[in-house]
Amino acid sequence: MFDIGFGELLIIAIVALVVLGPERLPKAARFTGLWVRRARAQWHSVRDELERELAADELKRSLRDTEDAMRDTERRIRESAAETAREFDDLRQSVKNTGAGAAAGAVAAGAATDATDADAAPATPTPSVEPDDSMQDRESSLASASDPDLMAGMAGDDDAEQIADASDPSTRPDETHEPRNV
């Protein structure tokens, strides 16, 4: 703060001794020390208060920046959600239009085909397909299979656990363990 060396302090002490005398010099030194301590304490309190205010201002600025960033993020999320909703509605409308157009086209094409078929030739009955014996044998062997992994492989994933429980004899209450005739 002040650049006071040892030589300058010695000159001040000699002048104070000459001016004040040896009797009042100790009181003057105590009084001077008291004022220096008060000045330093005041300086430290002002500096601490200034630092607290600067920290509070920086914290407020940081809080404001964070709030602005949050608002900006919220705005972008809302815009994105609105855009996604618009795209979804457009896609839904497109599917409805495509489905309605395809259904109308299929009805029109079917009516046109029926009209031309009726004019061209009489309708022939479609032959019915009857299962043969080999297909019935395969179905009966599958129905009596007791391997849960085999049954689970033939069924969907959702049915695998139910099939495994159904094929385990310990989980079936009050059933006999005789093979079924299908």
Rg (CA), the chain: 50
E strand intervals along 54-174: none
Residue 91: helix, strand or coil by DSSP?
helix
User: Cβ atoms within 10 A of the Cβ of 163, count?
Assistant: 20
CA 169, CA 160: separation in Å to the nearest integer?
Answer: 16
Taking all residues of the chain, what is their mean pLDDT, rounded to a whole number? 74
Return the residue matching tokens 């914290």.
59
User: How confident is the model over 88-142, as pLDDT tens digits?
Assistant: 999 999 998 887 666 656 555 555 555 455 555 555 555 554 545 555 555 555 4
Return the residue matching tokens 């919220």.
74
pTM: 0.34
Best mean pLDDT range from 14-18, 33-37, 168-172, 173-177: 33-37
Q: Is the pLDDT of residue 39 over 90?
A: yes
pLDDT of residue 155: 47
Residues 154 and 141: beta-carbon distance below 8 Å: no
pLDDT of residue 30: 92
Between 165 and 33, the higher pLDDT residue: 33
- Nearest Cα neighbor of 46 from 38, 34, 56, 35 is 38
Q: Is the pLDDT of residue 13 over 60?
A: yes
